Amino acid sequence: MSASDRPTAGMTAPRMTVQRIIQEHGREYLHSHPQLPERSCDVLKDLAACRTGAFGAHERQCAECGYHEILPNSCRNRHCTTCGGPRRAKWLEKLLPQLLPTRYFQIVFTLPHEFIPLTRSQPEVLYGLLFRTAWETLQELAADPRYLGARLGAMAVLHTWNQELQPHPHVHFVVPAGGQSPDGQQWIPFRQVQPRGGRKPKRNTSSLYLFPYKVVSRLFRGKFLAALTDAHRRDELVRERLPDRWREPPAFQQRYRELSQREWVVYQESPPPGLEPAVLVKYLARYVAGVAISDQRLVSCVDGRVTFTVKNREQGGRREERQVSANDFLSRLLHHVLPAGLTRIRYYGIWGSRHAALREHCRTLITASLPTSPPEATPPPPPVVTAVPTTADDKPICPCCQQHSVSLIAVVFTAKWRVRRAPLRRPLHPAPSPRPLTATAAPHFVEQRALPTMDSS
């Protein structure tokens, strides 16, 4: 922390953010890692320059009270903590009304730590296999009459880190507690599967399983290893990028035998009866956009040491502090940068984008299967992360008069916006402020829009 950043008497210290850490230590990190992939450089540059004026600015004005403001543009990078809030809010606003009126299970498929070198070297292949084999496991078990005998739907969110930002590749599946019958005429609820050893479920029913634990774990293990072997045989895995312990066929077979004899972890959780399914979806919303850590968990960055909080699961979720060097902190962040084009959220079965009518049919079947008439429908609760207040026409409310909306009248893009994917060995500090938002100052960058006429009422 520089001398200018230290608070003086009577002043409050500025809040520590991921962006400030990158601005202070990012250039040194780039110089010490000359072989850093270009995409990781892109993420560092975008996060450091977000809403600083490096990407330009936009001008808004209220047609009634005359309020006028100029706001810097955001980077729109999906790893940015600053841009993640509005994106999560929009995702929740779109998804919550689509939830079916039933309980939901959360099923987490985790890859053993031996696959971490593979996920680092070729994440696009490994994460794709993780999504595909996990869904095939659920789909096959759901179609089996011994367990459910129904058509299933699911929503999956990729998560690649743990509390200390170390690699921990796993995918969260949100699955309705039931499915549509093969003939499409009824909703088949799940059958309560008791935990291993015949123990009784806990009172909050969180120990109930949608499918038997060992059946899910071993079927997923077999499918993933078979898919990985097939990808290796068809040279989908680039041999030059493979770790030494996976590169040659004998070594690959040895790792295959070792991992096929271990028990893999597939966590299943059922929320207690009466708990709104929106609670579970809101929990997953934190993984939809942003980087591996939120700004709220950062404590300080002093003398090149970053302090952040973690939740100790072994101590009942007690909050503890961890301290690492700024160089190590940035390395941990960049380990979780996803490849370009890799989809973090995926929808399967009746949750697919093509099956909106089918979901409504399932909603009708669930309502008809209830023993008593359902209560009057209530609108879904608002999202956890709220965006800027808007009016009925979905425009931001004027912060001055608090009644009318502000309208966009001009947009300026700087040269950095157009060359953001060029080689990024440039200083990470914010660029100078954009040129004035006038048509004469930047005629080819400005987009003029007429102010809409608004009623005084």
Share of the chain above pLDDT 70, in %: 75
Does 414 or 365 have the greater pLDDT score? 365
Give the pLDDT confidence score for residue 383 in this predicted structure.
43
Q: Among the residues of 272-414, which ranges form H helices?
A: 277-285, 326-334, 356-369
Across 5-19, 73-87, 439-453, the highest mean pLDDT is recorded for 73-87
Residue-by-residue DSSP string for 269-287: E-PPTT--HHHHHHHHHTT
| Domain residue spans of the chain | 3-77+388-415, 82-292+335-369
How far apart are the C-alpha atoms of 89 and 98, rounded to whole Å?
Answer: 15
Which amino acid, residue 203? R
Region of residue 159 (phi > 0: left; psi between -120 and 50: alpha; otherwise: beta): beta
Q: Which pLDDT does position 138 carry in this prediction?
A: 95
pLDDT value for 373: 45
Average pLDDT over residues 142-155: 91
Tell me the average pLDDT across 77-93: 86
Distance CA 410, CA 447 (A): 5
Q: How many residues does the chain have?
A: 457
Average pLDDT over residues 73-83: 87
Specify the higher pLDDT residue, 281 or 175. 175
Q: What is the pLDDT of residue 452?
A: 34
- Whether residue 96 is predicted with pLDDT greater than 60 in this model: the reply is yes
Amino acid residing at 360 = E
**pTM, full prediction:** 0.80
Of 100-114, 160-174, 384-398, the range with the lowest mean pLDDT is: 384-398
Mean pLDDT, rounded, of the chain: 79
Do the Cβ atoms of 135 and 289 come closer than 8 Å?
no
Instruction: Indicate whether 406 pLDDT > 80.
Output: no
Exposed / middle / buried, residue 66 (Cβ in 10 Å: 0-12, 13-18, 19+)? exposed
The answer to whether residue 134 scores a pLDDT higher than 90 is yes
Residue type for 252, please?
F
Query: pLDDT-derived band of residue 390, with 50, 70 and 90 as boundaries?
Result: low
Out of 51-65, 172-186, 374-388, least confident range: 374-388
Q: Considering all CA atoms of the chain, what is the largest pairwise distance in Å, rounded to the nearest integer?
A: 78
The confidence band for 377, taking pLDDT boundaries of 50, 70 and 90, is very low
pLDDT tens, position by position, 224-254: 999 999 998 888 888 888 888 888 888 888 9
> What CA–CA distance (Å, rounded) separates 375 from 380?
14
Tell me what the mean pLDDT of segment 148-154 comes to. Answer: 91
Residue 454 has pLDDT above 50, yes or no: no
Digit-coded pLDDT (tens) for 271-311: 666 567 778 888 888 888 888 898 999 999 999 999 999 98
Does 10 score more than 60 pLDDT? Answer: no
* pLDDT number for residue 247: 83
User: CA separation (Å) from 320 to 17, 175, 297, 381?
Assistant: 19, 32, 10, 32
What lies within 8 Å, CB to CB, of 83 at 6+ separation is 50, 74, 75, 76, 77, 289
Q: What percent of the chain has pLDDT over 90?
A: 34
What distance in Å separates the CA atoms of residue 86 and residue 328, rounded to the nearest whole number? 29
Q: Which residue has the higher pLDDT, 162 or 60?
A: 162
pLDDT digits (tens, 9 = 90+) for 331-369: 999 999 999 889 999 999 988 888 888 889 998 998 887
